[in-house]
């Protein structure tokens, strides 16, 4: 029997790897087997296409290419220029952006590039101006001191972590929280929605240099036209981090006021979540920020990863095909079906539902912490992650929420009927799990009790459900 191209390619690659370090080849094979078996509801994960995956394993990995297309600090970058230019072109066309920078290695890195570009564009600093035009030798020690003082401590207003914002939007565990003076806007305590009047009030009081929109765990759309008006009213640069929902923008599910690209000065994203590309980041911006954005490497980034930029070009080409719009719409349809299934069974959801790719379950209604719920679901073959809910009494470690998302299961082909079955499995586990106790009898936020027979039965049902939707059906590793 002759093998198809994908099976031949992956089998051959594993054979070559196995000859050097068989344990790595085994781990790669085991990872595919595990992914095939698990009901993956992690909102930030997906399954890249075989073409995208294969594009990362080649000679581009060996190439240094600091600089940008046509202006490199290394010789022999003509082929890297080809793939970087292609990825940028696909990104501009796909999102209707004036400029695209495809070098960031991840979403965090893309945000750092954006922060630097905004600081360099906006902060009034004669020393910085000199440094930018490369008169660095003319700068005195006092100039450098002034430059550091002026660049630090600028103001950023972003969404609070427990309302669904991201660490890189000015929170302490990330450098952004150390270099910026940050304030957050939350969500309405009753509806759970962004209250634009409150954002405007906070912006008027705080006068941020940067207004950030974008989230990791907010299950609703954000009106970027209104956010831009707020930014303009206080002279802030408006930045959107669309890492989570880039696929919904690419697939034209988020249009008009909900498409960040025409409204923001600068947009950052990851390429591996709903966009379904390789692990990486990207920055899209208005022409006036392009020059600063292109300084990302070596300003804050290590050397570009040409093999990943090539894979970005492939994945972005895929996202420009008409069937990607259908995929993006199905992600949202599935998330809504999952939300409805949970609500119908008595679950409590932050904001009462979803209009994007994710659902945030408040598991305190089941008497559990997020940590207990996450582990009980994992025991039952359902992979999710715990997440804070607004004003979470259990903090960021134990949490009271479970975040689930549909990009990965939608890539496997599951539809709304299967989402209802998934809701049933989740509800069964959460309603059968009881909080556990510490050895001294006090209540534990981590321990839980779930009958192994229930966990096994749900895991079997999850596996049966997935068996109708094989992952990478064309890939047979033998
Ligand atoms: N921005 C947002 C909104 C995210 O949700 C994430 C990751 O979860 C990131 C940035 C960081 O992305 P990465 O893990 O690629 O650095």
Q: What is the pTM assigned to this prediction?
A: 0.96
Based on the domain organization, do 246 and 384 belong to the same domain?
no
What is the span of the domain harbouring residue 315? 59-319
- Among residues 299, 319, 339, which one ends one of the domains? 319
Question: Which residue, by CA, sits nearest to atom 2 of ligand 1?
Answer: 243
Asked, for residue 353, whether it belongs to a domain, the answer is yes
Q: Which atom of ligand 1 is nearest to the CA of 216?
A: 5
Q: Which mutation among 110, 240, 245, 270 tests ligand 1's pocket best, with the greatest number of atoms within 8 A of CB?
A: 270
What's the gap in Å between 358 CA and the centre of ligand 1?
15
Based on the domain organization, do 70 and 124 belong to the same domain?
yes
How is residue 126 written in tokens? Answer: 């004669």
- Is residue 267 within a helix (H) or strand (E), and if so which, with residue range? strand 266-270
- Among residues 290, 319, 348, which one ends one of the domains? 319
Q: Which atom of ligand 1 is nearest to the CA of 106?
A: 15
Q: Which mutation among 42, 108, 112, 266 tests ligand 1's pocket best, with the greatest number of atoms within 8 A of CB?
A: 108
How is residue 36 written in tokens? Answer: 């095939």
Q: Is 58 left (phi over 0), alpha (psi -120 to 50) or beta?
A: beta
Asked, for residue 115, whether it belongs to a domain, the answer is yes
What's the gap in Å between 246 CA and the centre of ligand 1?
12
Q: Which atom of ligand 1 is nearest to the CA of 108?
A: 16
Based on the domain organization, do 226 and 335 belong to the same domain?
no
Based on the domain organization, do 347 and 273 belong to the same domain?
no
State the Cα–Cα distance between residues 99 and 267, nearest whole angstrom: 10
Query: For residue 66, what are the contacts with CB-CB under 8 A and spacing of at least 6?
Result: 72, 73, 74, 297, 298, 303, 304
What's the gap in Å between 122 CA and the centre of ligand 1?
25
Instruction: Name the residues annotated as catalytic.
Output: 64, 66, 241, 270, 273, 279
What's the gap in Å between 110 CA and the centre of ligand 1?
9
Asked, for residue 357, whether it belongs to a domain, the answer is yes
Q: Which atom of ligand 1 is nearest to the CA of 270?
A: 15
Q: Are 271 and 317 in contact (CB under 8 A)?
A: no
Question: Which residue, by CA, sits nearest to atom 11 of ligand 1?
Answer: 107
- Helix %, strand %, coil % for the chain, to 5? 50, 15, 35
Question: Which residue, by CA, sits nearest to atom 10 of ligand 1?
Answer: 107
Q: Which mutation among 102, 106, 112, 243 tests ligand 1's pocket best, with the greatest number of atoms within 8 A of CB?
A: 243
The single-letter DSSP state of residue 186 is -
pLDDT < 50 stretches in the chain: none
Based on the domain organization, do 98 and 147 belong to the same domain?
yes
* Helical axes 370-379 vs 452-467, angle rounded to 10°: 70
Based on the domain organization, do 128 and 87 belong to the same domain?
yes
Listed in order, strand segments (DSSP E) in 325-463 are 358-362, 382-383, 385-387, 401-405, 434-437, 443-449
What's the gap in Å between 132 CA and the centre of ligand 1?
29
Q: Which atom of ligand 1 is nearest to the CA of 111?
A: 10
> Total structural domains in the chain?
2
How is residue 97 written in tokens? Answer: 């952006």
- As for ligand 1, residues whose beta carbon falls within 6 Å of it are 44, 106-108, 166, 168, 214, 216, 241, 243-244, 270, 281
Based on the domain organization, do 298 and 351 belong to the same domain?
no
Q: Are 95 and 248 in contact (CB under 8 A)?
A: no
Based on the domain organization, do 195 and 304 belong to the same domain?
yes
User: H helices within 257-305, ranges in order?
Assistant: 287-293, 296-299
What's the gap in Å between 14 CA and the centre of ligand 1?
30
State the Cα–Cα distance between residues 187 and 142, nearest whole angstrom: 43
Question: For position 134, what pLDDT does the model report?
Answer: 65
Based on the domain organization, do 304 and 404 belong to the same domain?
no
Based on the domain organization, do 154 and 266 belong to the same domain?
yes
Q: Are 471 and 53 in contact (CB under 8 A)?
A: no
Q: Are 394 and 451 in contact (CB under 8 A)?
A: no
Based on the domain organization, do 296 and 419 belong to the same domain?
no
- Among residues 319, 354, 378, which one ends one of the domains? 319
Q: Which atom of ligand 1 is nearest to the CA of 242?
A: 3
What's the gap in Å between 240 CA and the centre of ligand 1?
12
State the Cα–Cα distance between residues 424 and 430, nearest whole angstrom: 10
**Nearest Cα residue to 214 out of 178, 173, 161:** 161
Q: Is 47 left (phi over 0), alpha (psi -120 to 50) or beta?
A: beta
Q: Which mutation among 113, 216, 242 tests ligand 1's pocket best, with the greatest number of atoms within 8 A of CB?
A: 216
């Amino acid at each position: 029997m002759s093998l198809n191209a994908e099976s031949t390619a992956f089998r051959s690659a594993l054979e070559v790897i196995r000859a050097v370090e068989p344990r790595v080849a085994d781990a790669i094979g085991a990872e595919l087997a595990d992914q095939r078996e698990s009901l993956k509801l992690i909102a930030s994960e997906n399954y890249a296409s075989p073409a995208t995956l294969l594009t990362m394993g080649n000679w581009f990995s060996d190439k240094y290419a600091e600089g940008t297309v046509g202006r490199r600090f290394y010789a022999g970058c003509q082929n890297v220029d080809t793939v970087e230019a292609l990825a940028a072109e696909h990104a501009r066309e796909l999102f209707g952006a004036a400029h695209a920078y495809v070098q960031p290695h991840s979403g965090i890195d893309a945000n750092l590039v954006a922060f630097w570009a905004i600081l360099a564009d906006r902060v009034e600093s004669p020393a910085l101006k000199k440094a930018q035009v490369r008169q660095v030798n003319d700068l005195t020690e006092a100039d450098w001191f002034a430059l550091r003082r002026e660049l630090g401590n600028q103001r950023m207003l972003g969404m609070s972590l427990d309302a669904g914002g991201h660490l890189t939007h000015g929170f302490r565990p990330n450098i952004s929280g150390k270099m910026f003076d940050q304030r957050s806007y939350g969500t309405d305590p009753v509806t759970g929605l962004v209250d634009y009047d409150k954002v405007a009030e906070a912006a008027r009081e705080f006068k941020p240099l940067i207004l950030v929109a974008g989230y990791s765990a907010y299950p609703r759309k954000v009106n970027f036209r209104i956010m831009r008006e707020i930014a303009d009213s206080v002279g802030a640069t408006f930045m959107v981090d669309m890492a989570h929902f880039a696929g919904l923008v690419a697939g034209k599910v988020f249009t008009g006021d909900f498409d960040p690209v025409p409204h923001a000065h600068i947009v950052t994203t990851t390429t591996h979540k709903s966009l379904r590309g390789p692990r990486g980041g990207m920055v899209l911006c208005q022409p006036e920020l392009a020059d600063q954005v292109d300084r990302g490497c070596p300003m804050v980034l290590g050397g570009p990863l040409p093999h990943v930029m090539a894979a970005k070009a492939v994945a972005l080409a895929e996202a420009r095909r008409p069937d990607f719009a259908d995929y993006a719409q199905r992600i949202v349809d599935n998330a809504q079906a999952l939300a409805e299934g949970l609500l119908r069974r008595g679950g409590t959801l932050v904001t009462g539902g979803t209009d994007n790719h994710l659902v945030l379950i408040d598991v305190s209604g089941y008497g559990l912490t997020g940590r207990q719920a996450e582990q009980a679901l994992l025991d039952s073959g359902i992979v999710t992650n715990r997440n804070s809910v607004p004003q979470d009494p259990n903090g960021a470690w134990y949490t009271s929420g479970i975040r689930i998302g549909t990009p990965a299961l939608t890539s496997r082909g599951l539809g709304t009927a299967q989402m209802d079955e998934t809701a049933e499995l989740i509800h069964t586990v959460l309603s059968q799990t009881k909080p556990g106790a510490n050895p001294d009898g006090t209540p534990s936020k981590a321990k839980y009790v779930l009958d192994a027979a229930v966990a096994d039965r749900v895991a079997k049902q999850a596996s049966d459900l997935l068996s109708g939707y094989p992952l990478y059906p064309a890939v047979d590793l033998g």
